[in-house]
């Protein structure tokens, strides 16, 4: 049987290039078949899932492209496949995409590159997978400002990765990732290497100061947005960190820097989720909070890239998708300030939202239970933010217009079916801990009913606060403005003073002098004739010396 990655690759390419996006449902069934076949192949139903071949990309450096999953690698690949399955599912069911086959193809191609990064034995394969994932996301974004913001940051991150790995290769003479741990303590520039690699990972995963590109994507279709937030470069940043984590012990600055950025990311996302009005921007902040919590676990070395992570990742994806149920039920209204009082009409939607929160928290507890303080931090921020958002939608005073109120309806059952299904599976697995799940549900309902942060809703009225982008302002004020100032000064000094006044003026005077001399030489006078005769004598003398004497 063909290898599953080859099938995913060809089906993905075929989906992207189908003329005029025809055969949507037929080709979607082919897409689901490719994902299911790949999952069964990883589970060993069609023989070995290993694949290795040589890639002669660089002269004199043998590169083995290898896809040989061990137990944890197999679980990770299965997690990516399952998440890709649900991304395709929501893309087809919601029916908001003009070219659904194209997005489905990009989901499959991204799946191939994430699996390639997960199973990378060397950093050449890792770099190729990371770069191709950037191309997939760039192709998925159909909004110009978001495209520009995304590609600038990620091109810079890829440039850092490439040059840092080149520096590592010069010192270790090896491209094998597993060899880094033993040799890294002998490298030079250890602090520089560790900090540059962390900077690239922070940009990829959209941590604080590097999250603006994802905020710009809030105008995208919700399915595209959720796919990008949980299955592309933010996940790729975590994969890169997991692959090269042995390098970071060479610097005393690595983990303190990781702690600072992860905590600031969680705090910034927590505040942003409470303060912004747009529900899609809230979804971006909730994703940012998720990745901040994940990197907090890495910073304190509490959590690892275990199979539990992918269950949590799927739960976070479904929780963010449960927000989509709200604005779909409200005729695509995305502003929380124009909602309120929806509980009477959307009881079932509220029930699905509560299930998604419980699923998220249960899987979070499973993932983080090795450290109670760490687990409690995640429990606190998830509970507070979700209860605040849903209280604003369902319990606060109604601010919706007549059009929205008249058309309120619970969404199609196919939209909430994945949430109920995954919740049932997790509940069955954790059936012995039902009392803890019940206790959390009671705790969350108290937060939802009493709504302790209700006064923050006044912030929705301030347009300047809603449009404020602190990172862009910092970038413009502290980086772009000084660069523009020095650029203008250098332009005046170099262009006007040196080039125009000195260089060009000197060349002009030299040409003018040369023209004057040539005019005199070609004039009808005795001196011109004598100079040309003398010039001929000199040429004859040189020719005689070169040709006869030597």
Specify the residue for token string 């949590």.
312
Domains identified in the chain, total number? 1
Q: What are the angstrom distances between the C-alpha of 425 and each of 43, 76, 247, 276, 369?
A: 19, 19, 38, 34, 20
Give me Rg for the CA atoms of the chain.
Answer: 31
Pairing of strands 51-54, 64-67: antiparallel
Does residue 532 lie in a domain region? Answer: yes
CA nearest to 414, candidates 139, 32, 92: 92
CA distance 174 to 159: 20
Q: Where are the alpha helices (DSSP H) in 276-410?
A: 279-299, 307-329, 347-368, 372-394, 402-406
Q: Give the tokens for residue 550.
A: 């030597």
Does residue 524 lie in a domain region? Answer: yes
Does residue 506 lie in a domain region? Answer: yes
3-class SS at 21?
Answer: helix
Does residue 514 lie in a domain region? Answer: yes
Does residue 60 lie in a domain region? Answer: no
Does residue 491 lie in a domain region? Answer: yes
Q: What are the angstrom distances between the C-alpha of 4 and each of 84, 104, 111, 444, 482?
A: 14, 17, 11, 43, 52
CA distance 417 to 86: 11
Does residue 191 lie in a domain region? Answer: no
DSSP β-bridge partners for residue 66: 52
CA distance 286 to 283: 5
The residue segments making up the domain with residue 493 are 476-549
**What's this model's pTM, rounded to 2 decimal places?**
0.85
Does residue 356 lie in a domain region? Answer: no
3-class SS at 278?
Answer: strand
Angle at alpha carbon of residue 328, lines to 348 and 423, rounded to 5°: 45
287, 234 Cβ separation under 8 angstroms: yes
Q: What is the mean pLDDT of each run of 10 residues along the chain (550 residues)?
A: 81 81 80 92 78 70 76 86 94 79 91 92 89 92 86 88 87 77 70 91 90 86 91 94 88 92 94 89 93 94 84 94 88 86 89 94 90 92 94 87 82 88 89 81 91 84 69 63 70 65 72 73 68 76 71
pLDDT given for residue 1 in this prediction = 45
CA distance 276 to 468: 10
């Amino acid at each position: 049987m063909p290898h599953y990655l080859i099938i995913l690759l060809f089906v993905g390419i075929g989906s992207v290039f189908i003329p005029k996006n025809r055969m949507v449902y037929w080709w979607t069934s082919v897409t689901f078949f490719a994902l299911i076949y790949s999952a069964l192949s990883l589970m060993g139903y069609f023989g070995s899932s290993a694949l290795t071949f040589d890639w002669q990309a660089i002269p004199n450096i043998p590169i083995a492209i290898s896809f040989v999953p061990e137990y944890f690698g197999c679980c990770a690949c299965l997690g990516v496949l399952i998440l890709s399955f649900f991304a395709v599912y929501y893309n087809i069911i919601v029916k908001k995409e003009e070219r659904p086959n194209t997005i489905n193809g990009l989901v499959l191609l991204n799946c191939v590159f994430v699996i390639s990064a997960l199973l990378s034995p060397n950093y050449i394969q890792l770099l190729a997978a990371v770069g191709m994932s950037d191309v997939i996301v760039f192709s998925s974004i159909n909004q110009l400002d978001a495209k520009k913001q995304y590609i600038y940051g990620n091109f810079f991150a890829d440039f850092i990765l490439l040059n840092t790995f080149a520096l590592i290769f010069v010192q270790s003479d090896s491209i094998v990732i597993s060899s880094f741990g033993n040799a890294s303590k002998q490298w030079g520039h250890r602090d520089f290497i560790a900090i540059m690699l962390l900077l690239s990972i922070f940009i990829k995963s959209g941590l604080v100061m590097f999250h603006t590109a994802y905020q710009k994507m809030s105008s995208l279709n919700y399915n595209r947005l959720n796919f990008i937030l949980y299955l592309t470069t933010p996940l790729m940043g975590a994969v890169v960190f997991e692959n090269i984590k042995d390098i970071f012990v060479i610097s005393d600055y690595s983990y303190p820097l990781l702690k600072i950025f992860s905590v600031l990311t969680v705090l910034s996302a927590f505040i942003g989720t409470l303060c912004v009005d747009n529900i899609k921007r809230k979804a971006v902040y909730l994703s940012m909070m998720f990745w901040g919590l994940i990197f907090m676990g890495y910073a304190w070395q509490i959590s690892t890239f275990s199979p539990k992570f992918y269950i949590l990742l799927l739960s976070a994806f479904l929780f963010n998708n449960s927000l989509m149920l709200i604005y779909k039920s409200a005729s695509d209204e995305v502003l929380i300030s124009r909602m309120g009082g929806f509980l009477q009409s959307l009881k079932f939607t509220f029930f699905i939202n509560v299930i998604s929160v419980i699923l998220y928290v249960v899987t979070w507890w499973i993932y983080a239970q090795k450290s109670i303080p760490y687990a409690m931090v995640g429990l606190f921020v998830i509970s507070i933010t979700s209860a605040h958002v849903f209280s604003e939608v369902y319990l606060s005073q109604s601010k919706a217009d007549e059009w929205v109120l008249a058309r309120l309806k619970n969404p199609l059952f196919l939209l909430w079916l994945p949430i109920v299904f995954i919740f049932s599976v997790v509940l069955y697995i954790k059936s012995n801990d039902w009392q803890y799940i019940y206790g959390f549900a009671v705790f969350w309902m108290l937060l939802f009913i009493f709504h302790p942060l209700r006064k923050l809703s006044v912030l929705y009225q301030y347009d300047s606060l809603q449009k404020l982008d602190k990172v862009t302002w910092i970038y413009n004020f502290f980086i772009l403005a000084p660069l523009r100032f020095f650029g203008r000064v250098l332009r005046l000094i170099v262009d006007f003073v040196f080039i125009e006044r000195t260089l060009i003026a000197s060349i002009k005077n030299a040409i003018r002098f040369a023209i004057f001399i040539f005019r005199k030489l070609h004039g009808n006078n005795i001196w011109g004739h004598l100079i040309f005769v003398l010039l001929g004598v000199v040429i004859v003398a040189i020719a005689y010396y070169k040709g006869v004497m030597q």
